[in-house]
Chain A
Amino acid sequence: MPAKRKAPLFSSTLWSSIVCVVISLVICSFFMLIIGVNPIIAYLALFNGAFGSVNRISEVLVRMAPLLLAGLAVAIPFKCGVINLGAEGQLHMGAIATTIAGLTLISVPSPLSILLVAVLSFIAGAIWALVPAILKIKRGISEVLTTIMLNYPPILLVDYLSKGPLKEPGGMLPETAKISVNYWLPTLIPGTRCHFGLLIGIILAFFIFILWRTPLGYEVNIIASNPKAAHAFGINVDRRVLQTMLLGGGIAGLVGMNEICGIQLRLKSGFSLNFGYTGVIVALLANLDFIGVIFSSLFFAALDVGSGAMQRGTGVPIAIVEILKGIVIIIVLVREFIIRFVEGRKWT
């Protein structure tokens, strides 16, 4: 969040995030108590469901990759004060681009093919983010509503394509044929679904971290902390807004590629488990810190994966994770108060 004082150090972001998570977990336990479940047992089941075996851990990593990318897709524009709620739509556009390439450009050899779909899905996502960005710059229209409204058409488009024009010829299911094997992402952990996409995500996070040491990052930080000063320094705010939105949209497009080339291998409705929206929470919990997004996405991936076991074991509906996400956002908003409270006490 744009802060009027110096941005907090990484360490205070880390422990304040942990405090926010703990507070949120405590508040959530109330919802477990009202259905007669012991929260400690439920949370233990959750933890075990996420980390209890190599296979489960690999599933957490599978879930982490799209959340990591989505978190970056939201965090980058957010650094510039732009709220990108359109990651869900942008990632669907990336998935469409990936699938079309994977079904038609079948003679491109790997690994060139992977690079190709990465670029194509990035462009698809960026183009979809272009519309809200231009509307914001040229007309001052808030990106909140435009990005959300533009989430729905790509989701509907995927439904239409996978059931209509791109449907597998002669197939029984509402999905496309499998994309060419050249486009399949290699496995990271043998015997599991964990694939190369996670590595792409982590490398990208570090890449953005380094990118932020360039003029782009410097100027965006100034825009974030003091928009009026940014103008006075001659910073072209519109240009940075556009660049961060395109970057964010493109990375969201990569989420689509990640899922199609790494897990689904074909296009069908519902392949995205709300990655775009969860990306918002991932970014906020990490306080928009790019390296922090890695840990934040791991946390939410563990929640999503472990909740299944928790529901089977204790009967707590997995929807409690959604409640937790909402509470986390709200608690994170008082992060400043928490930091001031704890640090104030330290020095007295």
Chain B
Amino acid sequence: MDLMDFVTSILRCTFMLSPPILFTALGEAIAESSGILNLGLEGIMALGAICGCISTYFTGNPWIGMFFAALAGIVLAFIHAFMSIKLCVRQEVCGIGITILGVGLSIYINRIVFGGAIAPVRVGGFNDVPIPLLNQMPVIGPAIFNQNPLVYIGIILAIFLTFFLYKTSYGIRIRAVGENPSVADSLGINVQLIRYVCVLFGGAMAGMGGAYLSIAQMHMFYEGMVAGRGWIALAIVIFGRWNPIAVLGGTLLFAGIDSVQMRIQVIAPWFPYQILLMTPYLFTVVVLILFAKKVEGPRALAMPFRRGEE
């Protein structure tokens, strides 16, 4: 395999692996821009994975799988939103509860529907949609323009959300709510409604991100399959400074490292694979060290807002 082929296949793998973290991170970037921190992403992804797997299996249609996964994500996210926005509880702790609840639900549902630790079913994924002409380009052609639809949707969404967040009045309102909710409130902006919408959006996205894992990537469900991607998405939101395009970049960087790590396992089977598996997590820590600083991001992030209180 020559160098060009090697780079092409790594690149192709990178884009193919991107949707779970990309969707989740994009959704969370919006939610955090409105000021709500959702640490429940890992659990929402797990629930999305099992719901997507089940609904795809029984209907034969992966898009329906995605739909129900998004629905499941919205339900879990609603619990978090209600506790955080209405009851003003400590968002970090609530998120941890949602994660444990989501993971627990995914295992429970898996057991009552399929019976074992590994769902003994295979679900078909999405068919690749080659984009003519563009996919003839050397290297990036087959890597980027011959993927399944969700990869394209993810990239387009990242571009659209950047435009939405920074160039439209809705986006400006969302960011205002995240920076200074009391001022936004005094300007007549409905802080609670915007936060609810953003958190539910984030939940839907995370649910779909988890569903991609089971439907399109692994074609099955097994317990623990999310493997920390929800937490990694949170770190990538910080890395991308809440900017959707930068989040896309961070996701591709991370997915790239994951692809390389997987390839090395194949090329050098004598090297301890456990060490290679550590790389995504250690890389995330390095990313946090380099890019996370005090006083970052939406100023009102994770701070409860009560009207009339200062």
Contacts and interface: CB of A to CB of B under 8 A. Distances in A.
A157 interface: yes
Contacts of B94: 329-330, 333
Given A139-B293, A149-B228, A153-B278, A325 B100 contact: yes
B289 A139 contact: yes
Interface stretch (A186-194, A208-216, A316-324): A316-324
Nearest to B285: A149
Interface stretch (A140-148, A245-253, A294-302): A140-148
Number of chain B interface residues as a range = 35 or more
Contacts of B102: 326
Contact of A329 (B100, B231, B272, B278): B100
A31 B94 CA distance: 21
B228 A281 contact: no
A219 B78 CA distance: 37
Interface string B95-111: 01111111111011011
Contacts of A284: 93
A334 B104 contact: no
Contacts of B274: 156-157, 159-160
A83 interface: yes
Contacts, number: 130
B282 interface: yes
A145 B284 CA distance: 9
A96 interface: no
A150 interface: yes
A20 B222 CA distance: 31
B295 A329 contact: no
A65 interface: no
Contact of A319 (B107, B228, B278): B107
B242 to A, nearest CB: 15
Interface string A123-148: 00000000100010001111011101
Nearest to A331: B97
A155 B110 CA distance: 25
Contact of B234 (A1, A35, A131, A145): A145
Contact of A31 (B108, B110, B282): B108
Contacts of B83: 330, 333-334
B108 A322 contact: yes
B90 interface: yes
Interface string A240-284: 000000000000000000000000000000000000010011001
A326 B282 contact: no
A16 to B, nearest CB: 15
A164 B294 contact: no
B253 interface: no
**Size category, A interface:** 35 or more
Contact of B278 (A156, A277, A317, A320): A156
B25 to A, nearest CB: 13
Contact of A323 (B93, B101, B284): B101
A85 B104 contact: no
Contacts of B153: none
A152 interface: yes
B49 interface: no
A277 B100 CA distance: 9
Contact of B288 (A83, A146, A317, A320): A146
The 8 closest A-B pairs by CB, nearest first: A326-B101, A322-B104, A140-B294, A329-B97, A317-B111, A326-B100, A160-B274, A319-B107
Interface of B: 39, 43, 79, 83, 87, 89-90, 92-94, 96-105, 107-108, 110-112, 228, 231-232, 234-235, 238, 272, 274-275, 277-278, 281-282, 284-285, 288-289, 292-295
Given A149-B285, A322-B104, A329-B97, 14 more contacts: A35-B112, A139-B293, A140-B292, A145-B235, A148-B231, A149-B281, A152-B277, A284-B93, A320-B104, A322-B103, A323-B108, A326-B105, A329-B93, A333-B97
15 contacts: A83-B96, A135-B288, A148-B228, A150-B285, A152-B228, A152-B277, A152-B281, A160-B274, A284-B93, A319-B108, A324-B104, A325-B101, A327-B101, A328-B97, A334-B87
